[in-house]
Amino acid sequence: MSALPVTPSQTVGPFFHDCLLRDDRCEATVSDEGGAPIRVEGRVVDGDGTGVPDAVIEVSHAAGFFRLGTDDEGRFSLSTARPKRVELDRGTMQAPHLSVAVFARGLMNHLLTRIYFEDEPSTESDPILRLAPESRRATLIARRVSEDSLTPLYRFDIVLQGAGETVFFDFRSPAR
Amino acid sequence: MITTIGEIVRGDAAVFPPYLYEAYRSTLRRAPRLPLVEVPLTASELIRHRLDVSRVTDGDADLTRNAATGGEALGQRIIVTGRVMDEDGLPVPGALLEVWQANAAGRYIHKRDDWPGPLDPNFLGIGRCLTNPAGEYRFLTVRPGAYPWGNHDNAWRPAHIHFSVLAPSWSQRLVTQMYFPDDPLLPLDPILNAVPEGARSRLVAAYAHDVTEPHWALGWRWDIVLAGPRATAFEAREQSAA
Q: Can you give the CATH number for the domain in which A68 is found?
A: 2.60.130.10
pLDDT tens-place string over residues A139-167: 999 999 986 678 899 999 999 999 999 99
Report residue B43's pLDDT band, with 50, 70 and 90 as the boundaries.
Answer: confident
Q: Is A25 left (phi over 0), alpha (psi -120 to 50) or beta?
A: beta
Residue pair B99/B162 in contact (Cβ under 8 Å)? The answer is yes
Nearest to A160 among B30, B42, B96 (CB): B30
CB count within 10 Å of CB A130 equals 11
Query: For the complex shown, is ipTM > 0.90?
Result: yes
Phi, psi of A148 (to 5 degrees): -90, -35
pLDDT tens-place string over residues A46-98: 999 999 999 999 999 988 888 999 999 999 999 999 999 998 877 899 999 99
**DSSP state, B216?**
T
Interface size between A and B, measured as CB pairs under 8 A? 253
Question: How far from the centroid of its chain's Cα atoms is residue A32's Cα?
Answer: 20
CB proximity under 8 Å: B 124-153 to A: 124-128
A92 belongs to a structural domain: yes
Nearest to A6 among B10, B15, B41 (CB): B15
Report residue B115's pLDDT band, with 50, 70 and 90 as the boundaries.
Answer: very high
Phi, psi of B191 (to 5 degrees): -70, -45
A51 belongs to a structural domain: yes
Of the listed ranges A23-37, A138-152, B143-157, the least confidently predicted one is A23-37
Residues near B201 by beta carbon (within 8 Å), at least 6 away in sequence: none
A140 belongs to a structural domain: yes
Q: What gap in Å lies between CA B175 and CA B227, rounded to an integer? A: 12
Which residue ranges make up each domain of chain B?
Answer: 1-36, 55-241
Residue pair A80/A87 in contact (Cβ under 8 Å)? The answer is no
pLDDT at A2 over 80: no
pLDDT at A45 over 60: yes
For a pLDDT cut of 90, what percent of chain B falls above it? 82
Give the pLDDT score at A173.
58
Q: Please tell me whether residue B120 adopts helix, strand or coil conformation.
A: coil
pLDDT at A22 over 90: no
A45 belongs to a structural domain: yes
pLDDT at A4 over 50: yes
Question: How far from the centroid of its chain's Cα atoms is residue B7's Cα?
Answer: 24
Give the pLDDT score at A88.
87
Buried b or exposed e, range A146-158, using 16+ CB within 10 angstroms: eeeeeebbbebbb
Fold that domain B55-241 belongs to in CATH = Protocatechuate 3,4-Dioxygenase, subunit A (2.60.130)
E strand residue ranges, chain B: 37-41, 77-86, 96-101, 126-130, 136-142, 147-149, 155-157, 160-166, 174-179, 206-207, 218-221, 224-226
Domain with A124, as residue range(s), is 35-159
Residues A29, B21: C-beta atoms closer than 8 Å: no
Average pLDDT, chain A: 91
How many independent structural domains does chain A possess?
1
For a pLDDT cut of 70, what percent of chain A falls above it? 89
Residue among B108, B128, B137, B179 flagged as catalytic: B108
Residue among B24, B107, B160, B179 flagged as catalytic: B160
pLDDT tens-place string over residues B47-66: 887 777 888 999 999 999 99
**Residue type for A88, please?**
L
A69 belongs to a structural domain: yes
Report residue A26's pLDDT band, with 50, 70 and 90 as the boundaries.
Answer: low
Give the pLDDT score at A32.
62
